[in-house]
Structure 1
C-alpha cells in the first residue's frame, strides 16, 4: 500500500467520524452537544499538571494490554455488525418501514465508523505509550527541571527544545487517550439509546 493511499484512508476516516459524531441516526444535530475536543483539551491540561513525572510504567503496561484486548474485541464486533448489515433485507412496503430502515442503516454506519476510529485511536495510544516504556528520559520530572533553571543566566536552547518536545508528546498522548475514552462511552450510550427506542416501539398484543 502506498503512503499516499494510507494517508487518504486515515483522513477519510477522521473526516467521516467528525461529520457524524455530533449527529443522531436521523441525521439531525444532537441538541445540547458539547464539543468533545474542547473537553479533552481541558482534561489534557489538568493531566499535564498531575503527570509532571510522565507516565508510570505499570500504568502504561496495563493500558497497552487492555487496549490490545479491546482492539481484538471491537474488530470482531465490527465484522459481526457488517455481516448483520449485509444480511439485512432493506426492501420496504410503506413509508414507515422506509424510515425505520433509514434509521437502521444510519445506526450501522455510525456504529462502524466510530468503532473503527476508536480502534485507530487505540493503535496510536499503544504506539505512544510504548515510547514512554522504551525511552526512560521521556519520564523526567519537568517541574523539578524547571525549578533548577536559573532564569538570571542564559536559557539553555537545547533544554528548552527537549522540554517542549516532551510536553508535546505527553499532551498529545493524553489527548488521544481522552478522545478514545469518550468515543467508547459514546458508542455504548448511542447503542443503548437506539436499542431502547426500538424496544419501546414494540407493542405486545
Structure 2
C-alpha cells in the first residue's frame, strides 16, 4: 500500500485498483488527491477537511466515484451540488467494503475547541488495505482501538496541545507516526514537533515520518 500526503489533513491510500482519498479540504491539494480516486472519505464538515467545490467537481468528472462522510459533511456536499445518491452519511460503528479496502468507522465528536463552540460530528477511519492498516482520527485523539501500522497524528490545531499528540502516539504503539493537520505550522514549528514526536523516550517507539506534500510512504 502507498500512502501519499496531499497537505494538511488529506491523505490518499493506493493499492492495486483501490484509491481512497481521505479529507480533501481547502488547505490541501484536493484536486490532485481526488484525481483517479475510487472513493472519498470525509471525517467532518469543516472546510479544511472537505473542499465542497473540489469534491463536487470530482464527482462530476468520475461517474463511478462515491463519497462516504459524516452526516453534516454529506449534507454540505449535497447542498453544494453533489448527487445525493452518491454521497453516503456515516455513523460510528459502520463497516465499509470499498474495493480492496475494509473501513471501520469510529469516533463521534470533534475535539473540544471551547465550551462556547458547539462540537462537530467527527468520524474516524480505520482502513485496512493491501495487508496494512492506517488510522485517521479527523479532529480528535480518539484511539484506534487496535494496533495499526500507521497512525495519522494531528500536530497543530486550536483544539490541541503538543503533549496530547505525544501521549496519543505513545499509547497507539504504531510502527509509523505520520503528522497531519499541520497547515498552521511554520518550519520552526515543524522542527519543534519533530523533536518531540520523534523522541522515542517521550512519544513511543515508532518511526516519525513527516511527509512533504506529494510525498509517499510505501508499506
> TM-score with structure 1 length normalisation?
0.23
> TM-score with structure 2 length normalisation?
0.22
Instruction: Name the one with the larger strand percent.
Output: 2
- Bigger Rg, structure 1 or 2: 1
Query: Which has the higher relative contact order, 1 or 2, with Cα contacts under 8 A spaced 6 or more apart?
Result: 1
Instruction: Name the one with the larger helix percent.
Output: 1
